[in-house]
Chains A and B, each alone.
Chain A
Amino acid sequence: MILAAVIAFCLQAPPDTLAPAAVYAVKELPVVRATEAVWVDSLVSTPMGVADILRAFTGVQVKDYGGAGGLKTVNVRSLGSEHVGIFLDGIQVDNAQNMQVDLGRFSTDGLGQVLLYNGQKTSRLQTAKEYAAGASVHLESALPTVSGGEVRLRGGTLGTVNPSAQWDRRLSGRLMLRTSADFLYSAGRYPYPCFDTTLVRENGDIRSLRLEAQLFGRVRGGSWQVRVYGYGSERGLPGPVIRRLSFPFSAERQADQDLFVQGGWTQEWTARYSTAIRFKYANNYTHYNTHPEKNPMALPYNLHYRQQSGYLSLAQSVVLAGPWSVDVSADVQHNALDSDVGQFVTPRRTTLTGALATRVVWQTFRAAAHLVYEGAWDRFRTPSAGGWSRSGGYRDSWMPSLSLFWTPLRWLEADAFVKRTYRLPSFNDLYYSLMGNANLVPEAALQVGADVRLTLRPDGWELGLRVSPYYNRVSNKIVAIPTLSQFRWAMLNVGLVDITGADVKASASWHSGPWRASGTLRYSFQQALDHSVPDSQTWGNQIPYIPRHSGSVSASFGWKDLAFTWDSSFTGSRWSRTANTPDYYLAPWSLSNAAVQYTLRFRERGVADRPGAPSAGRALLLGVTIDNVFNTPYQIVQGYPMPGLSAQLSVSFRW
């Protein structure tokens, strides 16, 4: 995996500026900063996917089943991936079936920024869903400004070939078109230690094609965009490594076709009143086949699923007086899941989410509060019962939050938040014919957190330190554990988890003439204790797969158009069960990656839109990435070995 690091200037979002006495500017200020933010084009060699950026963030844990086709989900501060909202241009990427959003399907192409909010994102005109997520990852498109494009070819030792292209075109003064495509093939064959021998991972290949078009428009006082996204993939699910003699681990294949259309229109009607309308239609089709003809151990499943969702959101923002503004957002969403599984219950869900938010913003002190109401109507139908059942079909909740921000000195910022969110059980949790568990109760997350940030900018330097202690309580926590394959999950209500932790991030960057260097040190402490059943054998034990200690060191160096980066990350010991016994102990591991990139510029054109941006004008970029430099065998999820040493070459041309 590529773990690209951050070079100079990208450690902080651009500084806030306050246009004096302007209502207009005050209301744009964020109350709380993003916990982590990365400009994608500032990375040394573009990572293959969003997961590679997120795994470097503090407090974030990316679950990875290995290989290019392996499922990748994100967990923030032990809340569980279902509490982490993934938002693409403010619109949630959701999966009502299992609430596992596979980050492996999101390319970084065309993205401007990737942001993580541990607390509450408190910008104007957010969708109600943005308020309802426990933690959130925001993928923001880079807005194209000029006609141009990029073609790239990547390939590596894991049998990976990844050509891609992006083309930006100015259609008129107010209209930009971006189209992009990429194709990925990865053989996914890599050696790994299997008990007392070494085997090669089989049936981990993937081929996928992504086609995307985005239209960006401007109107007087407003802007709009529409995105059409198509993704198709066919992959093997290699299965967990278990004791087998001659039979293969798995011959399972999965094919996906994802299509969505989404868009939004943001309008500033007066200096005080603005609106944003957003919509989405998504259609996701999955075909899962165990191929028993290739594997005598396979159960003969050949199943098809289709998931559809429609979504509409209206957000309004009013500046009431000076620094005080109020937002009202309302979202409505409908989800449907169909399948040819026997006794399938064809669940339907309609969700209404409403948010009332208020913000007070001065330059040195800012505060925000909101209250969200979410109600979901579930209906399901079993072939044997006939008709639609609504029994136990309504679930609702109130989700409040408060955020404070204070910057007493230019170099010191402090913020704090408290927030309660709640996530609905997924369709699989509730209705899955074999694994489903109708006993599951909705999962609530209470979060209390604070950040202290020091930023010093002596001549040529930028020094940053962030300390973020937090306490989370997840009640009625539902844990998903893969069973026979990544596709089928066993659901478990662990109950109550108390998470006490702290994230620390120290960074330094320096530049002088053609030279630049930066380094980041990250450390996370997470004590996620099971407090479900007093006097049980698991009470007070660390919950599965959460390391108590984890951290990373990354360093980047640059000279003119040459950049080099090195990352080492450390994951402390974990347990694969809540019973923290030696049988289920997972040893700590560390991992190092390196990347080099050279930019060959042909012609300078104009000025870089942002300092530190590597290219504006025609350029050829050559990159080499070495992942797992020391060939460390490791597993993030037990039974799913990760690749060892691998190398990747990348050539791209921008114009």
Chain B
Amino acid sequence: MKKALLLFTFGVLSVVACRKTFVPGTPTKDASLEGESVNVAEFPADVKKIFVLNEGQMGANNATLDFLRRSDGQYITGAFKKMNPSAAAGLGDVGNDIAIHDDNVWMVINNSGLVEVVSAADETELATIEIPTPRAIAFDDKYAYVTSWAGAFATYEGYEVVDSSNPKGCVYRINLSTYKVEGNVEVGYQPEGIAYYDGKLYVANSGGISSQLPPLYAYDNTVSVIDTKTFAVTRTVEVQVNLKNVYADGKGHIFVTTLGNYFDVHSGLYVFPADAPDQVTHVTRDFLKHTHVSCSFALGDEVYCIGTENEFAFNEKHVYILWSYNAVKDKVSLYLVDLGGVPYGMAVLEDSIELRTLLVGDAGDYFNPGTVTCYRLYDLQDKVWSVTAGVCPGHFAVWK
């Protein structure tokens, strides 16, 4: 009861505070959208919106875009459809990645075969770019780079796979000023995450499909390094089986998360220096052996991971652990947060080292709308609120 009162007071204060300090610019077109009201009092002041891309269920065409507005604490679901009523088919089938570049939101809609660009200010459609089986996105100054499973040996935009029974994927390049695809480069099997650092792209190859197909029946275990000037693969780094996400901390470290093989290789976090890619380190500590990764999020120097101890015990209820790694300090931190449900995506907001907010997308039963839950990573480390999102809320992007 005391806690509730405290929260209530905070909520009221925040509204008052916002009214006093927040100077609204020209009202955006989505200002009239209303959703569930949540407490954003302690969110960093420079955050404007937090976007949540809900994957939806494959084949159900129900990927949706939600956002949480910092100014009034409204959590708005299905914003793409609401702001683009003329797009009759909605956002599409399976939202796989979301990123913000230059006040635009880029969404990778996997099973619709497209990249959707909307304005971060009002979610109105700016461009739709067709790319086969796109997975994840990264940017430099001139281009957006999209990994693609490109499961075809049909030629698309000049890309032709040599091995038709088990084709390798590629990275497509989109010109940021024209929104046109300008070439591609072949990487490993079923590339997933991608990150840009210092003139190079780092692409995580999973081999998720290759593991089920003859003749290989094996996961990929490599990171392809692409020089953005020549747009060619300059190096291939061996890490561990089934790679998922790649992050760069901007200080010379490349982080790679892996999913493992669900059988005898666990998921995990690996790190290597950008200038010495062969020095791959598995992040683990004596006090925390189960540095496993179900989902992850990079913030500044820190990579946050949620993992489960009993990964291969499919029949047991999973206990999720939040931990983080900072390569500059070479430090692993463990957080005592009681995470319920099925964490499927996450975001961490930071104001200062002591004040951090965790947002977790809970997939629930993967079929019905999931939830986004807010935790504080300080003090009581408690659950603050929970709202209904779309189906499988898996991907977060913070607009500042």
Give me the interface of A with B, judged by CB distance under 8 Å: 195-196, 239-247, 290, 292-302, 340-343, 383-384, 433-434, 437-439, 479, 481-485, 490, 492, 494, 537-538, 576-579, 581, 583, 638-639
Residue in B61, B132, B365 whose Cβ sees the most chain A Cβ within 10 Å = B365
Q: Which residues of A contact B61 (CB under 8 A)?
A: 240-243, 639
Q: Which residues of A contact B368 (CB under 8 A)?
A: 537-538, 577-579
**Bound complex: CA of A407 vs CA of B263, how far in Å?**
61
- Are B167 and A300 within 8 A (Cβ)? yes
- Known contacts A195-B88, A299-B209, A579-B368; A240/B151 CB under 8 A: no
**What are 19 A-B pairs with beta-carbon distances under 8 A?**
A195-B89, A240-B60, A241-B61, A245-B114, A292-B151, A292-B167, A293-B153, A296-B132, A296-B150, A297-B113, A297-B133, A300-B164, A301-B209, A302-B213, A342-B214, A483-B57, A483-B58, A537-B369, A583-B62
Please pick, from B57, B109, B133, B166, the residue contacting A296 in the complex, using a CB distance under 8 A: B133
Please pick, from B91, B132, B214, B388, the residue contacting A243 in the complex, using a CB distance under 8 A: B91
| CB proximity of B188 to chain A, nearest CB, Å | 15
B90 within 8 A of A: yes
B287 within 8 A of A: no
B217 within 8 A of A: yes
- Are A297 and B114 within 8 A (Cβ)? no
Interface size class of B (residues with CB under 8 A): 35 or more
Interface digits, B371-400 against A, CB 8 Å rule (1 contact, 0 not)?
A: 000000000000000001001000000000
- Known contacts A296-B113, A298-B151; A240/B59 CB under 8 A: yes
Q: Which residues of B contact A578 (CB under 8 A)?
A: 365, 367-368
- Are B60 and A246 within 8 A (Cβ)? no
**Bound complex: CA of A490 vs CA of B388, how far in Å?**
22
Q: Which residues of B contact A240 (CB under 8 A)?
A: 59-61, 93
Please pick, from A243, A245, A433, A437, the residue contacting B93 in the complex, using a CB distance under 8 A: A243
Residue in A239, A290, A302 whose Cβ sees the most chain B Cβ within 10 Å = A302
**Bound complex: CA of A583 vs CA of B368, how far in Å?**
11
- Known contacts A342-B214, A490-B57; A581/B369 CB under 8 A: yes
By secondary structure, the B interface counts as loop
Please pick, from B130, B209, B315, B369, the residue contacting A300 in the complex, using a CB distance under 8 A: B209
| CB proximity of A476 to chain B, nearest CB, Å | 14
**Bound complex: CA of A196 vs CA of B132, how far in Å?**
23
| CB proximity of A418 to chain B, nearest CB, Å | 31
Please pick, from A241, A296, A579, the residue contacting B369 in the complex, using a CB distance under 8 A: A579
| CB proximity of A514 to chain B, nearest CB, Å | 53
Closest to B111 in A: A242
Which residues of B111-139 are within 8 A (CB) of A?
111-114, 128, 130, 132-133
Please pick, from A292, A434, A437, the residue contacting B154 in the complex, using a CB distance under 8 A: A292
**Bound complex: CA of A301 vs CA of B213, how far in Å?**
7
Please pick, from A243, A342, A482, A484, the residue contacting B109 in the complex, using a CB distance under 8 A: A243
B366 within 8 A of A: yes
Please pick, from B57, B111, B217, the residue contacting A297 in the complex, using a CB distance under 8 A: B111
B165 within 8 A of A: yes
- Are A342 and B217 within 8 A (Cβ)? yes
- Are A342 and B152 within 8 A (Cβ)? no
| CB proximity of B362 to chain A, nearest CB, Å | 12
Residue in B111, B114, B314 whose Cβ sees the most chain A Cβ within 10 Å = B111
- Known contacts A243-B90, A490-B57; A343/B112 CB under 8 A: no
Please pick, from A241, A297, A343, A576, the residue contacting B132 in the complex, using a CB distance under 8 A: A297
- Known contacts A243-B90, A342-B213, A581-B369; A481/B112 CB under 8 A: no
- Are A438 and B315 within 8 A (Cβ)? yes
Q: Which residues of A contact B165 (CB under 8 A)?
A: 300, 302
**Bound complex: CA of A411 vs CA of B112, how far in Å?**
60
**Bound complex: CA of A268 vs CA of B161, how far in Å?**
68
Q: Which residues of A contact B150 (CB under 8 A)?
A: 296
- Are B314 and A295 within 8 A (Cβ)? no
- Are A343 and B217 within 8 A (Cβ)? yes
Give me the interface of B with A, judged by CB distance under 8 Å: 57-62, 78, 88-93, 109, 111-114, 128, 130, 132-133, 149-154, 156, 164-167, 209, 211-214, 217, 263, 314-315, 365-369, 388, 391
Please pick, from B89, B149, B152, B217, the residue contacting A242 in the complex, using a CB distance under 8 A: B89
Please pick, from B57, B113, B315, B369, the residue contacting A245 in the complex, using a CB distance under 8 A: B113
- Are B211 and A343 within 8 A (Cβ)? yes
- Are A341 and B212 within 8 A (Cβ)? yes
Closest to B148 in A: A296
Closest to A544 in B: B367
Please pick, from A340, A492, A581, the residue contacting B365 in the complex, using a CB distance under 8 A: A492
Q: Which residues of B contact A290 (CB under 8 A)?
A: 151
- Known contacts A342-B211, A343-B211, A579-B369; A243/B59 CB under 8 A: no
- Are B112 and A293 within 8 A (Cβ)? no
| CB proximity of A372 to chain B, nearest CB, Å | 27
**Bound complex: CA of A538 vs CA of B149, how far in Å?**
35
Q: Which residues of A contact B92 (CB under 8 A)?
A: 242-244
**Bound complex: CA of A299 vs CA of B58, how far in Å?**
13
| CB proximity of A450 to chain B, nearest CB, Å | 34
Q: Which residues of A contact B133 (CB under 8 A)?
A: 296-297, 299
- Are A242 and B59 within 8 A (Cβ)? yes
Q: Which residues of B contact A196 (CB under 8 A)?
A: 88-89
- Are A343 and B212 within 8 A (Cβ)? yes
- Are A296 and B89 within 8 A (Cβ)? no
Q: Which residues of B contact A579 (CB under 8 A)?
A: 368-369
Q: Which residues of B contact A298 (CB under 8 A)?
A: 151-152
**Bound complex: CA of A646 vs CA of B391, how far in Å?**
37
Please pick, from B60, B89, B365, the residue contacting A638 in the complex, using a CB distance under 8 A: B60
| CB proximity of B376 to chain A, nearest CB, Å | 24
- Are B164 and A439 within 8 A (Cβ)? no
**Bound complex: CA of A240 vs CA of B60, how far in Å?**
8
- Are B367 and A295 within 8 A (Cβ)? no
Q: Which residues of A contact B57 (CB under 8 A)?
A: 481, 483, 490
**Bound complex: CA of A291 vs CA of B60, how far in Å?**
22
**Bound complex: CA of A468 vs CA of B112, how far in Å?**
46
**Bound complex: CA of A490 vs CA of B365, how far in Å?**
11
**Bound complex: CA of A241 vs CA of B112, how far in Å?**
10
- Are B149 and A299 within 8 A (Cβ)? yes
Q: Which residues of A contact B211 (CB under 8 A)?
A: 342-343
| CB proximity of B334 to chain A, nearest CB, Å | 28
| CB proximity of A527 to chain B, nearest CB, Å | 19
- Are B130 and A483 within 8 A (Cβ)? no
**Bound complex: CA of A239 vs CA of B58, how far in Å?**
11
**Bound complex: CA of A536 vs CA of B24, how far in Å?**
38
- Known contacts A300-B166, A438-B315, A581-B369; A293/B59 CB under 8 A: no
Q: Which residues of B contact A537 (CB under 8 A)?
A: 368-369, 388
Residue in A299, A484, A485 whose Cβ sees the most chain B Cβ within 10 Å = A299
- Are B152 and A293 within 8 A (Cβ)? yes
Q: Which residues of A contact B365 (CB under 8 A)?
A: 492, 494, 578
Q: Which residues of B contact A341 (CB under 8 A)?
A: 212
- Are B128 and A245 within 8 A (Cβ)? yes
**Bound complex: CA of A492 vs CA of B78, how far in Å?**
24
- Are A247 and B217 within 8 A (Cβ)? no
**Bound complex: CA of A319 vs CA of B73, how far in Å?**
76
| CB proximity of A478 to chain B, nearest CB, Å | 12
| CB proximity of A302 to chain B, nearest CB, Å | 7
Please pick, from B59, B213, B369, B388, the residue contacting A483 in the complex, using a CB distance under 8 A: B59
Please pick, from B164, B217, B367, the residue contacting A490 in the complex, using a CB distance under 8 A: B367
**Bound complex: CA of A343 vs CA of B211, how far in Å?**
8
**Bound complex: CA of A481 vs CA of B59, how far in Å?**
10
Closest to B391 in A: A577
Q: Which residues of B contact A343 (CB under 8 A)?
A: 211-212, 217
